């Protein structure tokens, strides 16, 4: 998860990803941030986010993004 945290901080260094739990719901991340995250997840972890995974719940926190990565890596 440290790699993911580093990746996220590279995209949005102003966000405390370790404590935020409503990144999408509170408007902390916008659509451009999500697109950047998706691209970086593909580059770093080799996972491709499908439309079905573009649920805000999958991007609301560090843990939810990590869970998505782990789920996609196991498929």
User: What is the longest distance spanned by two Cα atoms in the chain?
Assistant: 33
| pLDDT digit string, tens, across residues 22-59 | 999 999 999 999 999 999 999 999 999 999 999 999 99
Beta-carbon count within 10 A of 37 CB: 20
The predicted-structure confidence for 4-23, as pLDDT tens digits, reads as follows 999 999 999 999 999 999 99
Answer yes or no: pTM beyond 0.85: yes
Report the alpha-carbon distance of residue 56 to residue 26 in Å, rounded. Answer: 11
Q: Residue ranges per domain, the chain?
A: 1-74
- Please say whether the beta carbons of 64 and 4 come within 8 A: no
Q: Please state, in angstroms and rounded to a whole number, the distance separating the CA atoms of residues 49 and 63.
A: 16
CATH match for 1-74 among 1.10.1750.10, 1.10.10.10, 1.10.1740.10, 1.10.1200.10? 1.10.1200.10
């Amino acid at each position: 998860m440290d790699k993911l945290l580093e990746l996220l901080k590279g995209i949005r260094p102003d966000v405390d990803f370790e404590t935020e739990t409503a990144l999408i719901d509170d408007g902390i991340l916008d659509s451009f941030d999500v697109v950047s995250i998706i691209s970086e997840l593909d580059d770093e972890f080799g996972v491709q986010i499908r439309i079905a995974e573009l649920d805000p719940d999958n991007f609301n926190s560090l843990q939810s993004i990590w869970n998505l990565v782990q789920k996609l890596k196991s498929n």
